Amino acid sequence: MKTNNFLKAPLTINWAVTNRCNFKCRHCYSRTDPSEELDTRTLFACIEKIVSAGVLSINFGGGEPLLRKDLLEISAFAAGLGLRVSMNSNGYLIDRERALGLKAAGFSKVGISLDSHVADVHDNFRGISGSHEKAVAALAYLREARIKTSISTVICRINHHSIQEVIAFAVGHGVHQLNFHNFKCSGLGYSNKDELDLSAQEWKEFYINAMEAKQEVKDLEISLDDPIIASLGMKTETDSLVKGSVCGKLSLNIKSNGDITPCGFIPIVIGNIVSDELKHVWNTSPVLDRMRNKKPTGKCSTCKSYEDCLGGCSARALALTGDFNNPDPHCWVHES
């Protein structure tokens, strides 16, 4: 009774409602993005568009979404139209009152960026002293407000040996989900990749350890969003409708000026939500068509894992090789 089919519209929109930020993260993908923002009324009209297209959930990001003074108004509008509303935040601006406001505005889940269980390591990576303490406090306030929380950790050189500690930290703070994000090499992540990114072999070791931890930990959902894990042949309990990257298959990204991209880390504009119909872009974009029908090249051509990983992360392949159809440079599988 289960099938595997193409969808009429994205399930989720990741919406960078602002590019303004109060942090100076060393891996940030959006510091070079345009600063224009859609006004509240225009955003409302765009949200109505995505609802009519069939989108089910919206995840606000940026930049720091809480720097938009109308964020709660936007959220309440989206939730009122039936969308499941969530957000990624650095947590710096979330106190008890703000957490209650988020709950009242319809937020069902808030992800807090936390890159280390060690405060100084996190603060140094995010460029703001005291940011770790604020993030931890935000988790508590959100929990009090009965909003589900997650921790988003960007895996890189500062934390790849700290899996168990980060997991214990997440469990200790009662979060619902821990997301280990792969390092994308976009924006400042590209500029600082030599300092922060792991070697292919280090990625392999990290994922083996993380997958083992995922299978052992019972009180926490651990999410690993990297398609190259498929080559490990380790069982995952998470069902997915698609193979390879989910970008352009289950979700799309909208930038602060309304530009639509396959994901936040792929700077290829395929439309604009103000002037275009989402379903038209979803159904006719040649870029999305290429992403959904990637062809194996190079070492992928002979790799037995290709049908599951589909070349790995398209954003990383694009950033490091210039073509998202190329093999993911993080892949550790040797040519056969």
Partner 1 sequence: MHPLRLQVTDPVIMKVFRNPDVLWREEDEQKAQAYEELAKGEDVEEIGTSVLFSDGVMLSLNIIGTEIWKQCDGRGVEEIIADLIDRFEVDPDVLRKDATAFLAELEQKGFIRYED
- Distance, in Å, from the CA atom of 263 to the CA atom of 247, rounded to the nearest integer, reads 6
User: For partner 1, which is the closer residue by CB, 3 or 275?
Assistant: 3
Q: Is 52 in the site for partner 1 (CB under 8 A)?
A: no
Structure tokens belonging to residue 64: 């720091």
User: For partner 1, which is the closer residue by CB, 195 or 307?
Assistant: 307
> What contacts 283, CB < 8 A, 6 or more positions away?
none
> What contacts 263, CB < 8 A, 6 or more positions away?
14, 245, 247, 248, 251, 252, 253, 314, 315
Q: Which letter does DSSP use for residue 247 in this model?
A: B
End-to-end CA distance of the chain: 38
Kindly report the number of other CB atoms within 10 A of residue 330's CB atom.
24
Q: Minimum distance between the CB of residue 4 and partner 1, rounded to whole angstroms?
A: 6
Q: Is 177 in the site for partner 1 (CB under 8 A)?
A: yes
Q: Is 7 in the site for partner 1 (CB under 8 A)?
A: yes
Nearest to 23 by CA among 132, 106, 102, 119: 132
Of positions 4, 275, 293, 336, contacts partner 1 by CB under 8 A: 4
- Distance, in Å, from the CA atom of 187 to the CA atom of 175, rounded to the nearest integer, reads 29
User: For partner 1, which is the closer residue by CB, 5 or 293?
Assistant: 5
User: Among 6-14, 63-71, 266-274, 291-299, which window interacts with partner 1 (CB under 8 A)?
Assistant: 6-14
> What contacts 248, CB < 8 A, 6 or more positions away?
262, 263, 285, 287, 288, 291, 292, 314
Q: Minimum distance between the CB of residue 219 and partner 1, rounded to whole angstroms?
A: 14
Of positions 239, 275, 286, 322, contacts partner 1 by CB under 8 A: 239
User: For partner 1, which is the closer residue by CB, 42 or 240?
Assistant: 240
Sort 150 into a burial class: Cβ within 10 Å, 0-12 / 13-18 / 19+: buried
Q: Tokens 């090789």 identify what position? A: 321
Of positions 40, 44, 56, 234, contacts partner 1 by CB under 8 A: 56
Q: Is 3 in the site for partner 1 (CB under 8 A)?
A: yes
Strand 177-181 and strand 221-224: the pairing is parallel
Q: Which letter does DSSP use for residue 199 in this model?
A: P
Task: Give strand pairing partners of 260.
Answer: 254, 271
User: For partner 1, which is the closer residue by CB, 128 or 139?
Assistant: 139
- Distance, in Å, from the CA atom of 255 to the CA atom of 262, rounded to the nearest integer, reads 11
| Amino acid letter, residue 122 | H
Q: Is 11 in the site for partner 1 (CB under 8 A)?
A: yes
Q: Is 235 in the site for partner 1 (CB under 8 A)?
A: no
Q: Is 293 in the site for partner 1 (CB under 8 A)?
A: no
Of positions 14, 18, 30, 57, contacts partner 1 by CB under 8 A: 57
Q: Minimum distance between the CB of residue 214 and partner 1, rounded to whole angstroms?
A: 12
User: For partner 1, which is the closer residue by CB, 177 or 321?
Assistant: 177
- Distance, in Å, from the CA atom of 137 to the CA atom of 130, rounded to the nearest integer, reads 11
Q: Minimum distance between the CB of residue 149 and partner 1, rounded to whole angstroms?
A: 13
User: For partner 1, which is the closer residue by CB, 2 or 235?
Assistant: 2
Of positions 32, 52, 215, 223, contacts partner 1 by CB under 8 A: 223
**Residue count, binding to partner 1 (CB under 8 A):** 21
User: For partner 1, which is the closer residue by CB, 2 or 218?
Assistant: 2
Structure tokens belonging to residue 168: 């214990």
Q: Is 280 in the site for partner 1 (CB under 8 A)?
A: no
CB burial readout 208-220, b (16+ within 10 A) else e: eebbebbeebeeb
User: For partner 1, which is the closer residue by CB, 84 or 96?
Assistant: 84
Q: Taking CB under 8 A as the criterion, which residues in 63-92 touch partner 1?
A: 84
The residues that touch partner 1, with contacts defined as CB under 8 A, are 1-5, 7-8, 11, 54, 56-57, 84, 176-177, 221, 223, 238-241, 250
